[in-house]
Amino acid sequence: MKLLWFHLMPYTRLPEDFAQRHASVWVDIDSRLFDPAQAHGMYNEFMDELEYAAEQGFDGVCVNEHHQNGYGLMPSPNLIAASLARRTRDAAIVVMGNSLALYNPPTRVAEEMAMLDCISGGRLVAGFPVGTPMDTCFAYGQNPSQLRQRYHEAHDLIVKAWTTPEPFVWNGRFHKLRYVNVWPRPVQKPHPPIWIPGGGSIETWRWCAEQDYVYSYLSYFGYKLGRATMRGFWKEMERLGKEPNPYRAGFLQFVGVAESRAEAMELYREPAEYFYGRCLHVDARYAAPPGYSSEATVRARVQSQVVQAAQRASSGQQTTAGQRFEDIVEQGYVIIGSPDEVAEQLRAVATELRVGQLMLLLQFGNMDRQLTLHNTELFAKQVAPQLRDLWDDRWENRWWPRPLPASERSRPAEVARA
């Protein structure tokens, strides 16, 4: 099994009464809460943490894209990935997304990801999310009714740009380009592995199966609520006659490791309550722009996790705001315990959900660097060894980067000083 270290880069200084005094952490979050000097420290610590995770032997480090969002300081994950490409040696650089419809022309994504693949020596995983309504339709003004059509055209264009040796004309519905000829080209042939972060839409599952891409369910609500989605995914794969290779599936899980469960309860309470109480405080008005969900999805009443959270808020149901850590753990949002307890739970979760690409959130909410590194080290040294062998006896990970041989990869050189 592959173990990947995922950073959301949450702003860690939202006030305690954020959920009471502010309408939303996303889209129209109060910019006066943002202190650039503090963010300077956060970015550098977060990048330290990602580099540390790679050093500790995690198979990959993951970054993602959010806009106008208080729990995601990466409008451009490619910037962070570029730095990681230089500062890490073997780990996969997993960019869990460029939201394709947001780039005009979409060849920008083909170019930047090819740069990342070249700089890293072929360690890139190319994540292509549609993007949340908050990011795409509201922060970036995309028409929700056209978003998926634009996404699919961008996808087709990018893959063609990576795989066509000659310059070609793209006379698409939304994009017209007379000369497509990206330079540089990716190291990995025909192109870096493509992973699709998605909610629970049936079309996305079918499309991943058709294209032979990894489907990643990036849930903030843990394995208990993720079960139904992953079960639906595997049922659909079976129906389509796809082999049940667990490496087809990615899943995100929050984890807090300590010497004991009691200590974990103490250590991870504040960051978890911060994340679920303040970071997921999304105004319901931005959750479901008309047309964002396909008609089939609307019919099936399968909706993405964030939408569900926001709708719980809009209908006056319990939100995650004000939840106590006991409930957060009980509901499985965060898995905690001693290294052995965490390993046992994660092994059971990965087995039940049939996940080969397991993404761990070991920094969440306002967790500071010291605790993050502690969590990461305990996981790497004492949990990971108990999980690595899962699946490898039977399944090949066809969706993992194929870098240049280590001996042929450049290392950052010490700069000669005058």
Partner 1 sequence: MSEPSERRVRVPRCGEARVWEKGVGPPLCFLGGLRGLPRWPAFLDRLAERRRVIAPSLPGFPGAAGHDVLDDVADWVVAAQDLCEAAGAAGADFVGASAGATLAAEIAAFSRESVRRLALIAPYGLFDEREPVADVFALRKDEVARTLCAEPATYESFLAKPDGVDEIEWQVTLLRAEEAAARLLWPTGDLGLARRLHRIVAPTLLVWGSQDRVLPASYAKRFASGLGGLVQVRSVEGAGHMAELDAPEAVADAVLEFLR
Interface residues with partner 1 (CB under 8 A) are: 137-138, 141, 143-146, 149, 173-174, 283-286, 289-291, 295, 298-299, 314-315
Q: Which is nearer to partner 1, 57 or 172 (CB)?
A: 172
Q: Which is nearer to partner 1, 23 or 39 (CB)?
A: 23
Q: Which is nearer to partner 1, 163 or 317 (CB)?
A: 317
Q: Both ends of the chain: CA-CA distance in Å? A: 47
CB of 149 to partner 1, least distance (A): 7
Tokens of 102: 């947001």
Q: Which is nearer to partner 1, 311 or 382 (CB)?
A: 311
Pairing status of strand 334-337 against strand 357-361: unpaired
Q: Is the peptide bond before 15 cis (omega within 30 degrees of 0)?
A: no
Which residue do the tokens 């994950």 mark?
77
Pairing status of strand 2-6 against strand 60-63: parallel
C-alpha 329/C-alpha 411 separation (Å) is 42
CB of 85 to partner 1, least distance (A): 35
Q: Which is nearer to partner 1, 315 or 407 (CB)?
A: 315
Q: Which is nearer to partner 1, 134 or 267 (CB)?
A: 134
Helix (H, G, I), strand (E, B) or coil at 258: coil
CB of 175 to partner 1, least distance (A): 12
* CA neighbor of 93 nearest in space, from 49, 65, 127: 127
Half-sphere exposure of 159 (CA within 13 A, CB side): 12
- Angle of CA points 116, 122, 125, to nearest 5°: 70
Q: Which is nearer to partner 1, 314 or 410 (CB)?
A: 314
CB of 23 to partner 1, least distance (A): 10
DSSP string across 134-151: IIIIIIS---TTTHHHHH
User: Which letter does DSSP use for residue 77 in this model?
Assistant: H
C-alpha 355/C-alpha 347 separation (Å) is 10
CB of 67 to partner 1, least distance (A): 14
CB of 162 to partner 1, least distance (A): 26
CB of 357 to partner 1, least distance (A): 33
Q: Is 218 left (phi over 0), alpha (psi -120 to 50) or beta?
A: beta
